[in-house]
Amino acid sequence: MSILVRDFRYSDYKEIEKFIPYWKRKKLNYDIQYLNIERMLKCLMFFNNDKLAMISGIDDVSEFIPNTFRILTRASTTKYRPRCWGEFLEEKFFSNIMAGISVNYCKQINNNINIVITTNEDSPITRLVQRSKNKWLKFREKDYVYDVKQVIWDIDIDECLKMTQYWTKQLNVKIENTNDRSY
């Protein structure tokens, strides 16, 4: 297994569009407009043996939550994502075990920025996070982001980075064409 992480390219729209029907079958009402890639500070593309495994974005949400970047924005996996496992909720999702890559990018832009993850208030993922054993996701509050009521989760940065370091070694992750070269 070999995971490649790189910046989104305009040509990736076609690759993403192939997975819209897959996400709709998974009850995710995603389309290209919903993903709002152009609004992201950065959109990362994850490939597993050259097959799209995940997209994940970083947004500046400071107009809603002062001095804050949001990671795992529109994070969406495909059937090619690697399976991961562990004691804590964060270790059960490929998007979460790779979150440290986005955290490092945020810190390179502004080392004093707050970094959060948000979930829709009444979504299944929010309920799952609330009732699970968590390692680095910590409830902060509920607030509106882009006119959508969100649950805001603070991140224990050190624990998140440790988890990503461990899994980048386990999954043979290579980072290309991003500002983040720490793994």
Fold of 3-175: Aminopeptidase (3.40.630)
- Collapsing DSSP to helix, strand or coil, 126 comes out as helix
First to last CA, the chain: 17
Q: What is the pLDDT of residue 63?
A: 97
What pLDDT is recorded for position 183? 42
> The tokens of 60 are what?
């500046």
Query: What is the sign, positive or negative, of the torsion defined by CA atoms of 76, 61, 183, 17?
Result: positive
pTM: 0.89
pLDDT in tens, the chain (183 residues): 789 999 999 889 888 888 888 887 877 667 666 678 888 999 999 999 999 999 999 999 999 999 999 999 888 889 999 988 888 888 889 889 899 999 999 999 899 999 999 999 999 899 999 999 989 999 999 999 999 999 999 999 999 999 999 999 999 999 986 554 444
The whole-number pLDDT of residue 34 equals 67
Among candidate residues 48, 46, 53, the one with its CA nearest the CA of residue 79: 53
**157-170 vs 99-109: helix axis angle to the nearest 10?**
130
pLDDT at 177: 62
Integer CA distances (angstroms), 74 to 44, 71, 99, 114, in order: 11, 9, 13, 19
d(CA 138, CA 152): 9
Strands 51-60 and 114-120: unpaired
